Amino acid sequence: MNNTATDGWTFRVDNLVKHFGTVAANDGITLRVEPGEVYGLLGPNGAGKSTLVKQTIGLADRLPGLAAPRMAL
């Protein structure tokens, strides 16, 4: 995956996985947020929305997978 200053993303998530026992809260989520875009997470209770946010900010395990914000310089 290209991670240069010219590829345009502000935030990316690649193949994020989180299981609670045999239940998959997040199973292979990939997401790119481009500059100026706004995303919302919609879904029923227990769908993995909060888990995804926790994984992206480092409050929950995110292995395997990558969650990488690009900080403005």
pTM: 0.65
Name the more confident of 62 and 52: 52
Characterize 22-52 residue by residue with b for buried, 16 or more Cβ atoms within 10 angstroms of its Cβ, and e for exposed.
Answer: eeebbeebeeeeeeeeeeeeeeeeeebbebb
Q: Determine contact, residues 52/29, Cβ cutoff 8 Å.
A: yes
Q: How big is the chain, counted in residues?
A: 73
Beta sheet of 23-33, edge-to-edge order: 23-33, 11-20, 66-69
pLDDT band at 15 (very low <50, low <70, confident <90, very high): confident
Per-residue pLDDT band at 73 (split at 50, 70, 90): very low
29 vs 1, higher pLDDT: 29
Provide the total of helices (H) and of strands (E) in the chain, helices listed first. Answer: 1, 3
